[in-house]
Chains A and B, each alone.
Chain A
Amino acid sequence: MNTGTAIGNVISQTRMSQMKTSARFLQMRLLQLPVLLAGVSLCAWASPSLAEPVQAAGDPATSLSFVRLTPEQYRRSIEDVFGSNIRVKENKVSPGFRDEGLLALGTRKLTIGSAEMEQYEELAQDIATQVVDPNRRAMLVGCKPKSEQEADNACAGAFLKKVGLYLFRRPVADDELQLYVATQNDAAQKLHSFNAGMIAALSQMLVAPEFLFRVEYSEPVPGHPDEQRLDAYSRASRLSFFLWDSAPDGELLAAAQSGKLLTQEGLNQQVQRMLLSPRTERGLRAFFTDMLGFDGFATLTVDSTLYPKFTKNVLEDADEQTLRTIVDQLLVKNKSYGELFVTRETFLTPSLAALYGVPLPRSQELGGAVPWVAYKFPDNDPRIGILSQVSFLSLNSHPGTSSPTLRGKALREKLLCQKVPPPPGNVDFSLVQDVNNPKFKTARQRLTAHASEAMCAGCHKITDPMGFALENFDTSGAFRTAEHGEPIDASGSLNGKAFNGMQELAQVVKDAPGTTACLINRAYSYGTQRKPTKDERTWLTSLQTELGNDGVKWRELMRRITLNADFYTVPTAPPLTARAEQ
């Protein structure tokens, strides 16, 4: 076991035992960094040779590209660097828009507007103030100023250099460092306070574009001067944000610094190490949150007048249930992706259990923490796989009525990567009429009437037959056998395969070749935050064939993608983007 893994273990153990001394492990981590980088000294702040911008990776970068951090990545970066005792206030920046079904691709087009800048500046002030707080300063800053009322350029310089490496995900150059030290110096003098100076300099780093954006530096591919690839540090970031949804750790940065990360062997080593880290769970969660559109929960409305069991707790637990199921299946149990659609294993909270209508033995809590309990639905139960969970069912419904169209559309677009055209203009929906129409009691009846219009039939044929199979679940996700007293017909079809009800739909989705193809494509696009090129698409198809027999396992998929050199190329022409989804 190498040093990096050991540090990883230290971190995870610290978290698991929820020690209140995260500052201490951070200090440990910071202190060990020089060992990793230079192998010289434990005296982190005194060593001038640390984190020098060694150009081991070849020529200086020739071009920059910017990708804004997501609010989650921002929070994690801060917590990873300064410890989870630092409270990051809610970050209310715009989530952006979807491109190719993913926010990750839309993120590549985001900038920071004035109102967002205001927020970032406020966050920066707040975080910096916490870091230099007298209770933490000794741990986090590491050196003692000569005087509390004055600047201390040496102490500040050592701290900013160290922290800058993590925040910018690359070493801070000497001339850059001088600027930050100068900021500290000015502010400390003006406000007669060493701390105020440190707050100024640290907050300056935290609003710098190099922190708020992931700056991708590219360089020519050796031997192919007309092609571009990410430089070593940018490669480390791409890996780390993809697999961990956070900034690189010390070991990964060290591999970038030494240039090892640019070799296949070094890359292999890092990927293996990273996939064994508990942080892989974060990456998995971030990916599926994006792919399944769980950002929609921020604005989801389910009419509580009609569905009183859809409480605020259900709303908060719904996506977490699905994410826990996915983590359990794909990471803990190492099952293949298809299992997500047919597994009966999941996790429930008391609120979810009440909505699902199942008993859930509760621990002896008296209104305190809500525990998650592993739960297995019986065989032949209509609850099977993640499509029968509240998250999918409620997210793809209208507030007061279920929608086979929305659910079918989500299945097509989110899980099969297909495009469903938007409704044309000048459509007369009057045939659908209102939901209280005594003639059309069920959604199927209403939609069948509506889809008999020639201009509507085309699209509804694509969406509705899949969605009908989910009609046994109402908007809130609760099970039902009738709508307005009329028994529900849950038969449907996909690509000519007929099925009846949730169980059969689940099997069909699991077996459809498009299901794994979609995952593979989405994962690749998510990692590169761009559309795959033509060559890459060919490779992805062959990857699907290779992985096909055993089913797609998450770690293996990640390994294959991240070991492919194309994953780090920078296409010369910007890839085209398609219409963002509404």
Chain B
Amino acid sequence: MSAHEKLSRRQVLRGVLGGAAVSVALPMLECFLDPNGTAYAATGASLPPIFGTWFWGLGLIPDHWEPKTTGDKYELPEHIAVLAPIKAKLNLYSGMQVFLDGKVNQNHFSGAQCQMTGMVSRTGSEYTTSLDSILGNHIGKRTRFRSIEVSCDGDRKSTWSARGANGMNPSEVSPLALYARLFGADFKDPNSADFTPDPAIMVRRSVLTGVAEQRKALMMKVSATDRTRLDEYFSSVRDLEQQLSVELERPSPVPSCSVPPKIESEDIGTLVDQTRNTHRQFAQLIAHALACGQTQVFNMAMGSSFSPLRKPGEATAYHQLTHEERIDPQLGYQPKCRWLAEQQMAFFLEMVQTLDSIREGDATLLDRSVVFAYTDHGEARLHSMKRYPVFTAGSGGGRMKTGFHLAAEGDAATRVGLTIQQALGISTGSWGTETNRATKPFSELLV
């Protein structure tokens, strides 16, 4: 037996590989859920929480989106009135701020960076572990995909997700490709009665195991500056091993899981209708992937923070409009920008409603999720770092109260990230660096 074989860690399944495949028929029935629909009857375990981020560029029209009162009896201002159908499952945070602490404002970068990583860097090439990775490591280790990143404007670079300090996770931009990745040949329907571990997948996994086992030897030799990058590569190898391992295990039946209709065509682009359509396709795919337990973490970006969103025939794209469109003296705002901002709010509504439309017993997929919606500037026209509009939707399985407007004038926007971390069970007292270090969660929301 070779050295490699001795090192192989997956001896357990050898027997299966050598002999006949396991195939046990199991009926798939609603009775697997307990009467409340939130736990597996067999184990009593709660359905796991879900964390998602939803990024849109260029904020909202200042003074037009903040409700006049706080608490749970507030009224939605007209600018965001579209969110009314989900108001009870939504929280709104106003007055939030990102602090630069003397560093250059990397326009359209620093603000989103801070809300996702807790820090503002000196340069745009520094970026570190993002909120979704922190939460993913805590809640989503057992899923087929560690997380799913998508962007609706065709730009792979539209992402704010990173596992460490060495580059961001590129976004998937094609709904067709995402469909293939999630529900293609490698998808194991958790509700399928038959399950046969695929020996070919076992081989693929042991190939990766072999690679991963070189880690130690290489890490000893690598230069200090490259060590974390190499380590991250090996983490990625482990992730993929894990993903294949999950595919080798019999999935627990999930009543709410269904394969979404196959996506037949896509039209990727930056026109409002194209982005809406792409977003809709992604929303459906992600919701189904979540319901089917394929992942517990997702990151959706409407697109680049320099938003290229456009009305057809309109010469100027959104980002340029924020700087060039006249503020209508009668209305007191930039009308085209407002329209585009409201389109994005409508997209957000659609995403949240898509999650809410999948029933799991007497609750919904949204109910066990926390979706964190954030943007790059308080007032994009001026690259303002104040008064950021921030939203969360869903209660993370009853771990966070919803239906509130919270005004925290001048507080670090990282408070929202800290609150979510604590709600989803990460025991940390603070998050962020320098003035952006938040120590006080919105405790009124924590259950």
Give chain A's interface residues, CB within 8 Å of chain B: 61-66, 92-97, 99, 106, 109-118, 121, 125, 175, 178-179, 181-183, 185-187, 190-191, 196, 200, 203-204, 207-209, 212-213, 218, 298-299, 301, 303, 305-306, 398-401, 422-430, 432-435, 437, 446, 574, 577-582
Q: Tell yes or no: B398 within 8 A of A by CB.
A: no
Contact partners of A178 in chain B: CB under 8 A: 2-4
Interface check B331, CB cutoff 8 A: no
Which residue on chain A has the smallest CB distance to residue B324? A432
Q: How far is the CA of A65 from the CA of B382 in the complex (A)?
A: 42
* Chain B residues with CB below 8 A from A200, complex form: 203-204, 206-207
Interchain CA distance A430-B4 in the complex, whole Å: 67
Given A121-B240, A306-B315, A398-B316, are A111 and B166 also a contact pair (CB < 8 Å)? yes
Complex contact A425–B210 (CB within 8 A): no
Q: Give the complex CA separation of A272 and B438 in angstroms.
A: 60
Bound CA–CA A233/B320 (angstroms): 49
B232 cross-chain contacts in A, Cβ below 8 A: 111-113
Having A95-B156, A111-B167, A114-B145, one finds 16 other A-B pairs with CB under 8 Å, namely A61-B221, A93-B170, A111-B164, A114-B146, A118-B240, A204-B210, A204-B211, A209-B230, A303-B315, A401-B315, A425-B382, A426-B384, A434-B326, A435-B315, A579-B104, A582-B108
Is the beta-carbon distance between A182 and B4 smaller than 8 angstroms? Answer: yes
Q: Shortest 5 CB-CB distances between A and B: which pairs? A: A400-B315, A182-B4, A182-B2, A579-B123, A94-B170
Given known A-B contacts A111-B164, A114-B146, A423 and B383 have beta carbons under 8 A apart:
yes
**Contact between A190 and B125, CB atoms less than 8 A apart:** no
A-B contact count (CB 8 A): 254
Query: In the complex the two chains form, is B222's CB within 8 Å of A66's CB?
Result: yes
Cβ of B163 within 8 Å of any chain A Cβ, yes or no, is yes
Known: A113-B163, A196-B203, A429-B323. A579 touches B222 (CB 8 A): no
The docked-state distance in angstroms from the alpha carbon of A435 to that of B223 is 53
Cα A435 to Cα B320 in complex, Å, equals 11
A398 proximity list for chain B (CB < 8 A): 315-317, 320
Inter-chain contact B124/A579, CB cutoff 8 Å: yes
Q: Closest chain A residue to B110 by CB distance?
A: A425
B106: interface (CB < 8 Å): yes
Q: Which residues of B contact A92 (CB under 8 A)?
A: 156, 170, 177
Cβ-defined contact, B3 with A430, below 8 A: no
Q: How far is the CA of A299 from the CA of B317 in the complex (A)?
A: 14
B168, B222, B383: the one contacting A64 at CB < 8 Å is: B222
Contact A204 B207 (CB under 8 A): yes
Contact B107 A425 (CB under 8 A): yes
Which of A62, A106, A306, A429 is close to B125, meaning CB atoms less than 8 Å apart?
A106
A433 to chain B: which residues have CB within 8 Å? 324-326
Q: Across the interface, which residues of A come within 8 angstroms of B88, CB to CB?
A: none
Q: Which residues of chain A come closer than 8 Å to B327, judged between CB atoms?
A: 430
| Closest residue of B by beta carbon distance from A189 | B18
The answer to whether B324 and A435 touch across the interface, beta carbons within 8 angstroms, is: yes
> When the two chains form their complex, are residues A109 and B229 in contact, meaning their CB atoms are under 8 A apart?
yes
A435 vs B323: C-alpha distance when bound (angstroms)? 12
If A187-B206, A435-B324 touch, does A117 touch B236 (CB 8 Å cutoff)?
yes
| Shortest beta-carbon distance from B207 to chain A in Å | 5
- Could you give, for residues 325-343 of chain B, a 1 whenever the CB lies within 8 Å of some chain A CB and a 0 otherwise? 1110000000000000000
Query: Measured between C-beta atoms, what is the minimum distance from B230 to chain A in Å?
Result: 6
> Is A114's CB under 8 angstroms from B199's CB?
no
Q: Is B105 at the interface (CB under 8 A from chain A)?
A: yes
Contact stretch, chosen from B76-84, B112-120, B305-313, B361-369: B305-313
Give the CA-CA distance A96 to B163 in the complex, in Å.
Answer: 15
**Chain A residues with Cβ under 8 A from B323's Cβ?**
427, 429, 432
Question: CB within 8 A of A434: which of B123, B155, B181, B324?
Answer: B324
* B229: chain A residues within 8 A (beta carbon): 66, 109-111
Q: How many residues of B contact A (CB 8 A)?
A: 87
Report Cα–Cα, A175/B2, bound state, in Å: 11
Report A486 CB to chain B, min CB distance, Å.
Answer: 16
B residues in contact with A94, CB < 8 Å: 156-157, 167-170
- List 20 A-B residue pairs with CB atoms under 8 Å apart, sorted by A's residue number: A63-B221, A63-B223, A64-B221, A66-B226, A66-B230, A94-B168, A114-B239, A117-B233, A196-B203, A203-B204, A207-B237, A301-B308, A401-B320, A422-B106, A424-B383, A425-B383, A437-B326, A579-B122, A580-B124, A582-B106
B55 sits at the interface (CB 8 A): no
Which residues of chain B from 1 to 49 have a CB within 8 Å of any chain A CB? 2-5, 8, 17-18
| B447 lies within 8 A of chain A by Cβ | no
- CB-nearest residue of chain A to B108: A582
Residue of B with least CB distance to A61? B221
User: A65 near B383 (CB under 8 angstroms)?
Assistant: no
Report A-chain residues with C-beta under 8 Å of the C-beta of B317: 301, 398-400
Do A117 and B240 contact each other (CB < 8 Å), given the known contacts A187-B203, A190-B18? Answer: yes
Tell me the minimal C-beta distance from A344 to chain B in angstroms.
31
- Alpha-carbon distance between A430 and B55 when the two chains are bound, in angstroms: 26
**Distance, CA A110 to CA B381, complexed state (A):** 32
Per a CB cutoff under 8 Å, which of B5, B181, B226, B237 touches A186? Answer: B5
CA–CA, A430 and B169, complex, Å? 36
> Which residues from A are CB-within-8-Å of B247?
none
> Which of A61, A175, A207, A432 counts the most B-chain CB atoms under 10 A from its CB?
A207
